[in-house]
Each structure stands twice: as structure tokens, then as C-alpha cells.
Chain A
Amino acid sequence: MGPRRSYDVIIVGAGSIGLPAALAMAEAGLRTLVVDQAASAGQGSNKAAIGGIRATHSDPAKIRICLRSIEIFSTWKERRGEDIEWHRGGYCFVAYAENEERALRELLVIQKAFGLKIDWLDKAAMLDLLPDLNPEGLLGGTYAPGDGNASPLLAAHAFFQAARRAGAEFRFREPVRDLILANGAVRGVRTDAGEYGAEVVVNAAGGWAAEIGRMAGLELPVKPDSHEAAVTEPVARFLEPLVVDIRPLGPSANYYFYQHKTGQVVFCITPSPSIWGLDTRETSSFLPLVARRLVSLMPRLRHIRVRRTWRGLYPMTPDGAPIVGWAREVKGFLQAAGMCGQGFMIGPGLGEMLAQMVTGRLSAEDRESLGLLSPYRSFEGQEKLK
């Protein structure tokens, strides 16, 4: 084996988190290497994301990070050139039951306190915004006009190209076999192709993050479950915001859908109970279930033709919040894992924060956010609205 090539930082995973992190680190002047088991950028769970991007979460860390992500996504084209198909269509959570209205209204208070643009729409206002909604039993819902969506595929490639231009290096088709450790510190990674040295290793391995953590003796409480999604043919714009229906029904919790900038409707459902594991093979139960729900909510959708389905991983944590922070047991080992299916929207904001953690330039606000995402928190809480 030849001499070990050295970097300032090695990122494990060229996905939703690893790609923007690589860009931020390379632009901060760090010699950056990204290694991934897949053949190209964004081929893990990134490409399974449907593309929704919102800041209207319930905890301050995710709110702050995603506000920054929205700024990055929404200005990408003017600042960097590539069209990542960003569309500021907003997010709507619709309510058909009183307990759902109550939950959404409670959340609204927290969200408004963080200065988020989000409001309650009554039934009439909601039908103005979404005229194709089934009006029967509709109570109203929240509307956050600042949220939006973009293409995860194009965004991943855009981050990848920008990171390359900024000097980051990439090694694909190289699963990490082991971390190189010495004297309680990380020294690099080992792949089938060789060893790469760095004083900092970032675990951004998504559904495989727990496995990478274990290489350094860390037990990260991250386990993936799987969700199926689909995309339709493109049609003329008829739907502005992304719609979330939080009612549980049968073997599903919520489901959500939006119309992409290029006209396709993309939708996804949350199984209940969760389907744990790394299985991403298509099942026969997804389409009938999600179709019944979508068509009941928005009858006009019955005519749109489904083009393709897929199944992606949500690397879940016990409390529904990401795990971000330095390992206490192993120096230089930075966790950025357990995005709970929100890696795409969290990635750009978090990528910058990770770079600042490495360069030691964190703001006070970011320090506070990181406290909430610490790998050593109690994990007892539950996010109000996943």
C-alpha cells in the first residue's frame, strides 16, 4: 500500500449532508476529501428525497439551519449559475379534525416566536389557496409561504460540482472499511483502494451512519426506516404549495405532495408502524394506499398519471432531531447523522455549520443550536410535528 494521502478533513458520505459540507469546507480553505460507497454523488438517500424544503419546524436548531438552507437554495442560481429548480411554493398543513387543528395552532405559536412567516388559514382562505382540496370537513390549516422545494438530483450535482471547483476531492465506489484511530483520535479512513489521512473525519453516512460510528466504538442511536415515494407525469401548474395531511390512516401516518417546478407531482407516505431496515425494494402496498389518500383529499389528482416509484431511507433518531457534534470518546470524529428524512433541507445550512465547527468559527446562536443536536443529549423529547 502506497503512502497515505493526507487531507484536513475527510467526509464519509457524498449525500445531502456530505456534499454541501464538502463545499463549505473546501471554500473555508480546508483540504477536503469525500468518500462514498456509491458510484456518484447523491446516490444514497439524497436522490430518494422528494424535494420539500421548509424552515417551519418546531425546534430552534432546525429552524435556524433550514432558514439558512432556504437562503442557499433560493439564491443558488443567481450566485452559482446552475438551475436547481427551486420554487418558493410554500408549505401547507391541512386540518380536517379538531385535534389536528389544535396541534397545528399550538405549533404556530412557537414558529411565530422564531419569526417564521406562517399563518393559520381558515377554510375559505385555504380553499382559495388550494381550490382542488376536498372541502368536506376541512377546517383550515397553516400556510408558510417562505418554504419551497427544489430538485434533490440537480442540487446534489450542483453542490458536487461547486465543491470540486472549490478543490474538494471525491472517491466513489469506495465503501469505508474502517476508521484509522490512534491515541484516542481519528487519523483517517481505510477503503478497499487504500488509506486516506486526516485529523478530522465527518460521519455523514446517512442510513449507514451507525455502522461508521461503530468503527470508532460509538453507538449512535440512528436506525433507518423506509418510505416509498413516486413522481407523476408533468402537467400545467395547478398546485402551488407542498401539502401535508397529518391524519393517520390504516398503515400510514401522514403523507405529503407538491408540484415540482417542471410540472410533476411528487408524493411520499409515512408508514405506521415504521418499517425498519435498509430494504429499499418496492412494495405492492404503497400505491393503492397513497392513491386512495391523495384522491380523497384532492379528487383532481385521480387523472394524473404516475410515472415512477421508489423507496428511500429515513435515518431516524429516538427524538426525531439530527445528531450533530464531536465525539467525546474519539478526538476529531464529527457526527452529522440521523437527519430523520430531512437531510436534503437541512444539508446546506448544516454544511456551513460543520465547516465552522472544524475551523472554530461558530456563532453563539449556532452553539445554542448544536446544544440541542448534541449526540450526548437525553433523546427523551419528541418533535411536535415530524
Chain B
Amino acid sequence: MPGFRIDRHPILTPLPAEAVPVTWKGRPLQAKAGETIAAALFAHGERTFSFHPKDHAPQGIFCANGQCAQCLVLADGLPVKACMELVRPGMRLEPVDGLPVLPRDAGPVSVRPVEEIGVEVLVIGGGPAGLSAAIELGRRGIGVLVLDDKHRLGGKLVLQTHRFFGSAEAVYAGTRGIDIATKLENELRTFPSVEIWLQSAALAVFSDGRVGVLKDGRLYVKVRPEVVLVAAGAREKSLVFPGNTLPGVYGAGAFQTIVNRDLVRSSERLFIVGGGNVGLIAGYHALQAGIPVVGLVEALPECSGYKVHEDKLRRFGVPVYTSHTILSANGTDAVESVTIARLDEQWKPVAGTERTFACDTVLIAVGLDPVDEFYDKAREFGLRVFAAGDAEEIAEASAAIFSGKIRGMEIARALGREAGEISPSWYATAEILKSRPGKTVPEKIPDEESGVFPVLHCVQEIPCDPCTTVCSRGLIRLLSDDIRDLPVYEAPDPEKACTGCEKCVAVCPGLAVTLVDYRKDAEHPTVTIPYEFLRRTIETGDRVAVLDTEGAELGEVEVTGVRAVKANDRTILVKVRAPRAVAKRIAGIRVQEDEAVKPLDRYVERTTDDTFVCRCERVTAGQIRALIRDGLRDISEIKAVTRAGMGSCGAKTCTPLVRRLFREEGVPESEIVDQPKRPLFMEVPLGVFAGTDESGGDGHGA
């Protein structure tokens, strides 16, 4: 197999899969059974999928989530989303180049009326929120139909190789996202009243109370639910800068999908835009997959994601450029480099601070928008509807699990199937799990220099408590009952102090606990450091650079032991022998060398007018700004004139960007008029509605 498959990963286990022969531009290519076309193409180093019919611009993936439609390719002559459609043996894959030719049919086709079914609860989305809600409903014997447009359940949990934050008791904190997905799915499948349709997507909520569903990617079914739960998650926001539609510019979630779900190395050098949790975690996932991360820019003076995630990246050798912005992605047919600059206090780039870094991929991680159109329509049409998870409010997946659980109970109550009250403490916990990071305190290094004890390099208030649940002697506790409070280690009785069991080191989702052991050699204590990279990358006897919490180098030390045991669930514990003076400050080991992150000697300025707002219809920011300056305030009118929002994604990507341009042009919110949202949620072949037997529908193989 060609060299872009990830055959070893510290957390994920590549499973053998049957080879599926397909062709790309007439050349044979070995895909793997069960993978998407996008994964198969990336696995062969193909990152340009098509050419836009309007201007022949090269197109690659953007969302890899079935939302944006930028990744269209022709599969056996029919346009399909490469990120959703699975490969089939013998599939002929071609780039879309110009308008596709509609295939001819040999003769008349048979049509059928559409089936309509009733269901107590329709759950749109089988991610953390939808699964948790469906479990509560299934537990009570309530009839549930769970829809998910992917070929497996779990939503974005299946991309999350890291251990989760949150409450260990309420939402599996300390467990990896991928494993939570399996736990939730296994539990859900024990309930006979729950039906699950995979590769099945809601297309529209109609005013007559029906929800149109594309089942198995080829069959149209009308569902008449008593209650709808929208748990459809979120979509990634786009960003406006020159070169923003070059192949190689795509969402951080898309990256995690290709790398962690599909186990394909989609990049050789990565740059990340956005310092929220999604961008920070994507950087970590890249390093785990062996992909160098050249840097990360964040426009704000501080990253908005968890500090432990940011610190982790810094310690591994990834520069984090706060108060910086991306000026352009550069390249002709694909990304070759990225140019950034520092921002002044008015958010303007400072001349002379421009720097260009060679990279082949620029990840956009500038936030998420709720997938809330089904909820809004259902409300408008008077259906009984609830929302949970990101579809309700963007937050961590742990919060989605918990809000799904609560919503499930609320729906049971609404259906008269649950008598008990929902405890107010549940709502309080839900709020805590959703909370943004609180205050950061200066790191407190303990004075102690004897025995053995953990050092908690955890300096920011975030909802997280796994370290407090594993100490065999109960010596790590939170400063209060609130899981957002900071943890402390205290051992008043030296007889009952830390035993050095290392469980706290292994369980911390932030890799922010080390163990310092003075017992053998007080001058050169042993420091135990958590490590989640390939076992083969570190050996006893190696000299490694160690760094403090925020990534400042503390010198080189010798590795004295490497422990990879099953009980630690793929977290390796590395022991180093460190000088007494720095031992307690050591928080991590550098994995990426400085050479990898140096800028080019001269910066690249992109002067082309290719700052796109509407990717589908290739509408530039300049075109829309001109209309705003001409006095246009109705987004429908902008759409009518430019076609921005009329493309195949259904205005999902550009609408927030158009609103942002209004803000940048100083137009008050009250003057802006929104466009009405219309079905369908995604493009579906006409034959599906006619009941002809369609295969190769939008996003799903038959």
C-alpha cells in the first residue's frame, strides 16, 4: 500500500480490511473496504479532488463531514461527496471538471409511493448527545429511532483519541472519546425499543409534522414523530483570507476525521489557525500521527481552549502565536505555505511582522456553529422538539453526553413515561460541564524535596476531576465540591503519603501530572512523565529535552525507564533521572525539533483576489463588501445578486461569514435581514423521492 496510511498509532489500532480496487482518473488504486472515497484518495496522496465549474479552481476537502459539498467527485459518472460516499469494488472515480453530464437511462423506471412511519421519538444524530438521550429513552421502553448520517455511531467521539475532561462520575472523564463511543453504543443496543438507522440523514422538517429521511443513502421515508430530538452536532466555521479555498485548507474536524477515523496521514506539515480546544487538540492528534505541526495562530492575546491543551502543544515543541492572524494561504494548485502576522490592539496586522512557514495544510479551527436548522423548523411548525449537545449550545463532548441524558429524561416526562422529577443538581452539573475555562493561577511547585509525590501542573479552572478518583490513598482532592476547582495533593500523615502508584500520572487528560521520586537519589530524583506517542520513539538510555509546564526548556536528561502497561490504557510512563534543581518543574518531553518550525527566509505575499465567502458558488468577500457598501442589508438580496448561499451546501458555510462582513463594515445588527432557510439539508437524487431504487445518493453507498 502507498505511504499515506497510518499503520502504527500510539492510541488507535489499524484494523486489517479487505482491499477494494477502484480507479482514479483511469489509474488503479487500492482502497480499503468501509472507507470513504476521500480517505482512499488521501491515502494515495491525492488531495485535489475536482475543479470548480465556474473558474476551474482546484478543490479539495473542507468539512469532511457531509456538510459543505466542496469534495464532490464523480463516482461511476455521478457527483457524490467524497467524504461521505464509501468505496465500492470497481468504482470509477474521476474529478468533477465542468458541469457533470447527467447519465442516460436505458428505459422507463418504476416508481413507488413513499413509505410513512410513526415513531415516539426521532433522534437526529447518533453522537454523544443523541446516544445518551436514546439510552435514557430506551431504558424506559420508549420507541426511539436514531438517525446518523455516518456509517458508525458516535459522532465526533470516534475522532477523539484523548482522554476526556469533565466529571469521572457523570460523563466518563478520564476515558478516551473513542472508547466512550463504544460504551454508549453497546449500552444503547441492549434496548429493544431503540431502532438505529446508519447512513441515514434527516433532509427536512415539514410543516405537516413529517420529517423527511434518507434511509441507507437511497430510500426516502417520511417519519411522523411524536417528539423530535435534534442532536445533530455542529459544523465548523469557515474563515475569510486569500487562498482560503486552496486544496489543503480545511477544518480541524475534517483533519481529525481523515487522520483518526480513517487512519490516513493527510499532511506532511501542518499549520493550525485557532487556539480553541478543537485547534489545540487537532495539533496534539497530528503529533500523535507523526505529522509535524509548524505552528498555531490565535488572534486573541490568549488561547480560548484549555490551558492544559495549549501547554501540552508548547511542551511538544509547537509554537503558539497568540495575537497573530493568518494573512494568506499560498500556492497555485494547493497549499505550499502560510503567511501570518502579529495583530495590534485594533486587530490590524502589524507591518514588518509577517512570517511565512512552509506547510501543505492549513487547518481552520475558528469555532463551531450549531446544526440547528431542524430545531428551528420544528419550532416554527409547532412540533414537540428538543435539542441537545452542540446542536443546542457549543460545548465540550462531555457536556453533550450529560445534556443528552437530561434531554432524554425530559422527553420521557413529556411523553408521560417518567414520573420522577429531574434533580436540580443535574442541571447544575450540565452548566458546569459547559462552562468556559475559569481563572488561571501561577503554578505552585511544592517545597517538599523528599519521598515521592505527584506534581500537578494544572493551573486553570476547568471542569475536570479524574485525578481525584484514582489515588489509592485519597490524597488528591479538589479545593471545593465544584469540579472546576483546582486539584491539590496533600499528605498530612507521612505514614499515609503517596505510594508512587503513578495512577494519577496515567489518568490525567491534560498530561499535567508528574511524579517526583527522591527515595533512591535525592540529588537526581526520578520523574515519571506521561507520554502518548509511539512506544518505539523512546527507549531507556535516550537523552531527551525536558520542558516546564509552558514549554520552556529545562535541559537534557536521561531516560531511565519506559513503562507501557495495559492498565494505563495506552498512556506510556517515561521515567527520567533529573537534576534536583529542575525535577519538580519538569512537565513534559519535547517531541518536535526547533528546525521543523522555522519560518522561511522571506515572507510570501499573496495578492490574488481569491478570498472566498461562498465556496460553492465562488463568491468573494470583495463582491459582498461592495454590495454592503452600496446599501444592501437583506441577505436574501445578496444571495439573489451574487448566488452566495445558493450552492450545494445550502448556505451552511457562508451565512456566518456574510454576517461577519456586515459587522466588519460597521452595519448594526438591527439592519441586517436574514434569509429564510429552505429544505433540503443536502442534495438528494430526484429518483430517491420517486421511489426508484437509487444507489450513489448524496453521501452514501448502497
Contact = CB atoms under 8 A, between A and B. Distances in A.
Interface of A: 38-43, 47, 132, 134, 136, 153-154, 156-157, 172-173, 232-236, 238, 263, 279, 281-285, 287-288, 290-292, 294-296, 299-310
Nearest to A156: B640
Contacts of A234: 53, 99
A292 B640 contact: no
A306 to B, nearest CB: 6
A40 B673 contact: yes
B661 interface: no
B108 A302 contact: no
A291 B687 contact: yes
A97 to B, nearest CB: 17
A304 B637 contact: no
Contact of A43 (B113, B634, B688): B634
Contacts of A299: 105, 107-109
Contacts, number: 164
B686 A295 contact: yes
Nearest to B100: A235
Main secondary structure of the interface of A (DSSP, over half): mixed
Contacts of A310: 678
Nearest to A288: B114
A282 B207 contact: yes
Interface of B: 53, 78-79, 98-105, 107-109, 111, 113-114, 204, 206-208, 210, 212, 220, 222, 380-381, 632-634, 636-637, 639-641, 646, 648, 650, 673, 678-680, 683-692, 694, 698
B104 A300 contact: yes
Given A233-B79, A300-B103, A303-B103, A40 B632 contact: yes
B206 A238 contact: no
A299 B103 CA distance: 10
A292 B678 CA distance: 21
B684 A306 contact: yes
Contacts of B692: 295, 302
Contacts of B104: 132, 300
A294 B689 CA distance: 10
Given A284-B222, A302-B687, A279 B207 contact: yes
A283 B208 CA distance: 6
A126 B336 CA distance: 54
A294 B105 CA distance: 14
Contact of A302 (B98, B679, B690): B690
12 contacts: A154-B640, A154-B641, A173-B673, A233-B683, A284-B208, A288-B114, A292-B113, A294-B686, A300-B105, A307-B650, A308-B679, A310-B678
Contact of B686 (A39, A132, A301): A301
Contacts of A42: 640
A156 B640 CA distance: 9
A279 B382 CA distance: 14
A272 to B, nearest CB: 18
Contacts of B691: 288, 292
A310 B636 CA distance: 14
A55 B108 CA distance: 32
A303 B680 contact: no
A292 B206 contact: no
Contacts of B100: 235-236
Contact of B102 (A156, A238, A288, A306): A238
- Of B114, B207, B632, B689, most A-chain CB atoms within 10 Å: B689
- Nearest first, the 5 A-B pairs at minimum CB distance are A302-B687, A291-B689, A281-B207, A153-B640, A305-B683
Contacts of A153: 639-641
A228 B206 CA distance: 13
